[in-house]
Structure 1
Amino acid sequence: MTDKNDTPVGRTDAKENARSRMVDALIALIAEGSDINHDRVAERAGIGRRTVYRYFPDRESLMQSVWERVTGLAGPSVTFPRSEEEMLSSLPAIYEGFDRIAPLATVIRSTPQGRAVRMSERKRRTESYRAAAADATQDLSEEDQLLATAMLQVLHTTPWLEMRDHWGLTGAQMAKACGWAMRTLLADLRARKGRPLEDVV
């Protein structure tokens, strides 16, 4: 039996199984606070070192595979937004999705290894949020565009752990609070018509 790409289905399943085992091993190592490298992944997954390199040729690709797993478990709407509308409409899915995978989301938000996972997506993240905020920030100076876009990005995903730990909020409550803050900022950005951020509108 073959799939539509003429690849034997059994072989495809075996490849997916091997990849999944390696990502499981990565997540376990991150949760333990272990240093991440191909040798450790191979040992934990019970897979040859060369096989790990074949799937993940460098450390960056290892980290990206964890990011893909985390966002996949959190839900299909947990992606980088490309528009203002996507930024606002995705808030409930993001915060409630993090609640569903709270132990894993906590590891990704609170450990050095989790930071490495997040940083592996830095370029894609910044490009996406620049596009999403472009209309609201277009009249600002270059530096103020950067500051406003960074603030919107932070509100879109970052407060989850702080709001959960310090305030006991649910994902739905966080989405409501962050949505209000983001809409307030977006309205302010449009009202100031290019005036510097330090000026009160």
Structure 2
Amino acid sequence: MTAESRTLRDRQTAATREQILEIAMHQLGQGPRGTFSHESIAEAAGMSARTVYRHFPDRASLLQALWERLREATHTRFPITEDEILPMAQTVFREFDANETLVRAVLNSPAGTEVRERGGVEGRAAFTQSLAPIIEGLPEREKSRIIAVFVSVYSAPFWQLLRDRGQLSAPEAEKAVSWALETLIHATKSITGPRLVEVKKKK
């Protein structure tokens, strides 16, 4: 096979993968009304299910690719330092509002829930890193609980609760999530402060 033919094949492969993801994202955007499977994607794309499986051998690999696509579409980012937590939360909530139709559809879709769980994994890893300096010395179970609360607040479901059940406007929701996270940070520091002193003394 020549270099030119390999390049053409690579472009065709990339185009097919992109088509699959575009259709899958569209199906996610239909919310609970839509269908979502390798077979339904193949039918909508006018290709065989075997082709979809060739690019995404299982549901997990397809969901991971869709999470990455959703993350880019909504500009979702996670903080890796304590200083990034508050400003990034406001930015993420602003992006949820800018992509409200898609975000709400994903929140209300069974497949969307699976996609978002990929974000949960990424979020837990990020908050484990960003909170590390202020949860040092705590028992592992306590660390896990604190991280879980931060991840839950820094999320689309929490955004939806503030907008719908809390009846907050978009700017008010941004301020609310910032206040909630700032309060959590102060509360965590009040717990860990004395323990950090003890840990450092022992060292």
Question: What range is the shorter-chain TM-score in?
Answer: 0.7 to 0.9
Find the aligned partners of 1:73 and 1:92 in 2 and give their Cα distance: 17
Q: Which amino acid aligns with 2:168?
A: L
Verify: 1:28 aligned to 2:26, yes or no: yes
Deviation at 1:9, TM superposition (A): 6.7
Q: CA RMSD in A?
A: 2.7
| Matched-pair identity in % | 26
Q: 1:155 aligns with which of 137, 141, 153?
A: 153
Find the aligned partners of 2:11 and 2:169 in 1 and give their Cα distance: 37
More helix by share: 2
Aligned residues: 190
Find the aligned partners of 1:8 and 1:96 in 2 and give their Cα distance: 42
Task: Extract unaligned runs of 5+ from structure 2.
Answer: 196-203
Q: String of CA shifts for 1:6-49, please: whole Å, max 9, x gaps.
A: 89776555444322321222133333544532122111122232
Residue in 2 that maps onto 1:199:
none
Q: Is the contact between residue 32 and residue 108 of structure 2 (CA under 8 Å) also seen in structure 1?
A: no
Q: Is the contact between residue 33 and residue 113 of structure 1 (CA under 8 Å) also seen in structure 2?
A: no
> What is the TM-score with the length of structure 2 in the denominator?
0.79
Q: Which amino acid aligns with 1:66?
A: L
Residue in 1 that maps onto 2:126:
128
Find the aligned partners of 1:9 and 1:90 in 2 and give their Cα distance: 39
Residue in 1 that maps onto 2:188:
189
Task: Extract unaligned runs of 5+ from structure 1.
Answer: 197-201
Q: Which amino acid aligns with 1:99?
A: D
- Which structure: larger Rg? 2
> What is the TM-score with the length of structure 1 in the denominator?
0.80
Q: Is the contact between residue 22 and residue 52 of structure 1 (CA under 8 Å) also seen in structure 2?
A: yes
Find the aligned partners of 2:25 and 2:95 in 1 and give their Cα distance: 18
- Matching of residues 104-119 of structure 1 within 5 Å: 104-119=102-117
Residue in 1 that maps onto 2:141:
143
Find the aligned partners of 1:45 and 1:24 in 2 and give their Cα distance: 10
